[in-house]
Amino acid sequence: MTSTVNAPAATSPARALVCRGCGAEFPLAAQHACFECFGPLEVAYDQAALARVTREQIEAGPQNIWRYAALLPAGQDPSTRVSLDPGLTPLVSAPGLAAELGLRAPLWVKDDSANPTHSFKDRVVSVALTAARGLGFTRFACASTGNLANSVAAHAARAGVPSIVFIPGDLEQGKVITTAVYGGDLVAIDGSYDDVNRLCSELVETDEFEDTAFVNVNVRPYYAEGSKTLGYEVAEQLGWRIPEQVVIPMASGELLTKVDKAFTELVEIGLVEAPANGWTVFGAQSLGCNPIAVALHGDTDTIVPVKPTGIAKSLNIGDPAAGLYALEAVRRTGGWMDYADDDEIREGIRLLARTTGVFAETAGGVTVAVLKKLVESGKLDPEKETVVFNTGEGLKTLDAVAGLVGPTYRIKPSLRGARDAGLLG
């Protein structure tokens, strides 16, 4: 068989599943916990295969996450993809926000609300479900804090595969309707996300759910890899550069660890040079659910689970699966974490909207509010280029700001009405 030098990898560069705890290796199957130490599993790659990937190959690819297929565990053959083709979302220059916060170097907002179901979750779901179908699963499921539910239901509808999505019963209407509309089964549970997740971990062991891929349970290692595409994209959109600072919202903490992993890979395989002093990773939580930030502030590795409260529901995971690894990434890169209360979150949403034209959901409000705190406390360097991640869409959490904004004037439809209101001077 002959091959051309620049032919895209038709096979997966993934090599094994490796335990993040003890390093034990397992075959690429539907397994998420280590048989030796119960630690979480992560996809490991054939480094030589990754190193063959070129910028030209990526740039010649589709205008979505699959341009990075040669760096992902599944989806190299387009006909195998279960996907809404998310990705290549705008990297928005934010000079107005930078000025308001006192940042003197360039500031960017990576606006992932522009994905097909309006959150970054489309990235992880496309990779997870493509892997899941390859592994023979015939039904798609998840435990969700909201956005994952939207994305799994939509992907299943597009692929013509049945779905069953589990959510906490108190989710925002904007997340419930935007899931139910796709027609799959939607199970609302009287409990928190952590209760939902525990139930899903039990269901996945039953005979009745043997054919079901829970994107963030039994195929979680593949799901997590989808988050890397956010890091790849930021680097490519900056002209193949890694920003000096990134500010990332945390629920399980997975997204944060995978953006860091993406930067590390790009440097290791020679596609990008690291900034002279490396990059620094910052994490954002809400006051109502801040177990990872509290552990960092207490200088401990013991993450004490909490019962989440507050309006940032998409981030409300009280027992964060990747919390330890998020701590590791933030400490290693010299970063910090902080958290914002509900009023600060609302203010963050408005500040971002007013200065950039980006309307974020509560998670974006958390991130912008924490960015502000990090500048004020001197943890984030105002002289360094910074990317802040907006992971979801404001229209899904309208209640957060509904009472705070509205018409500036209410007038009669006449010049006189306009004059009376002062619009004519």
Ligand X SMILES: *Cc1c(COP(=O)(O)O)cnc(C)c1O
Note the residues at the interface with ligand X (CB under 6 A): 119, 121, 147, 249-255, 314-315, 361, 363, 391-392
* Dihedral sign from CA coordinates of 72, 76, 79, 84: positive
Angstrom distance (rounded) from CA 370 to CA 390: 12
Residue number with CB closer to Zn ion (21 or 90): 21
- Cα 395 off chain centre by: 18
Q: Which of 10, 22, 29, 398 binds Zn ion (CB under 5 A)?
A: 22
Task: Tell whether residue 25 is a contact of Zn ion (CB under 5 A).
Answer: no
In angstroms, what is the minimal distance from the CB of 127 to Zn ion?
Answer: 23
Q: Per CB under 5 A, does 90 bind Zn ion?
A: no
Q: Which amino acid is at 282?
A: F
- What token pair was written down for 13? 């560069």
Contact partner at residue 391 from ligand X, Zn ion, none, CB < 5 to 8 Å by partner kind: ligand X
Q: How far is the CB of 33 from ligand X (least distance, A)?
A: 17
* Residue placing its CB nearer to ligand X in the complex, 254 or 344: 254
Residue 404 binds Zn ion, judged by CB under 5 A: no
CA distance 108 to 168: 33
173 burial type by CB count under 10 A (0-12 exposed, 13-18 middle, 19+ buried): exposed
CB of 321 to ligand X, least distance (A): 8
Given the complex with ligand X, which of 66 and 389 has the nearer CB atom? 389
Q: Find the shortest distance in angstroms from Cβ 235 to Zn ion.
A: 31
User: At 5, is the secondary structure helix, strand, or coil?
Assistant: coil
Q: Which one of 6, 10, 25, 36 is in contact with Zn ion (CB under 5 A)?
A: 36
Nearer to Zn ion, 38 or 409 (CB): 38
How many CB atoms are located within 10 Å of the residue 425 CB?
Answer: 4
Find tokens 């996945």 and name the residue. Answer: 204
CB of 216 to ligand X, least distance (A): 8
Query: What type of residue is 198?
Result: R
Instruction: In angstroms, give the least distance from the CB of 167 to ligand X.
Output: 12
**By CB under 5 A, residue 16 contacts Zn ion:** no
Q: Which one of residues 8, 9, 16, 39 is an interface residue with Zn ion (CB under 5 A)?
A: 39
Distance CA 381, CA 363 (A): 23
Among 8, 9, 15, 21, binds Zn ion (CB under 5 A): 21
Tokens encoding 122: 């489309």
CB of 85 to Zn ion, least distance (A): 35
Residues 6 or more apart from 133 whose CB is under 8 A from it?
Answer: 80, 82, 159, 161
41 binds Zn ion (CB under 5 A): no
The phi, psi pair for 193, rounded to 5°, reads: -55, -40
CA distances from 401 to 141, 252, 311, 345 (A): 31, 25, 11, 10
Q: Which does 21 bind (CB under 5 to 8 A by kind): ligand X, Zn ion, none?
A: Zn ion
Residues contributing to the site for Zn ion (CB under 5 A): 19, 21-22, 24, 34, 36-37, 39
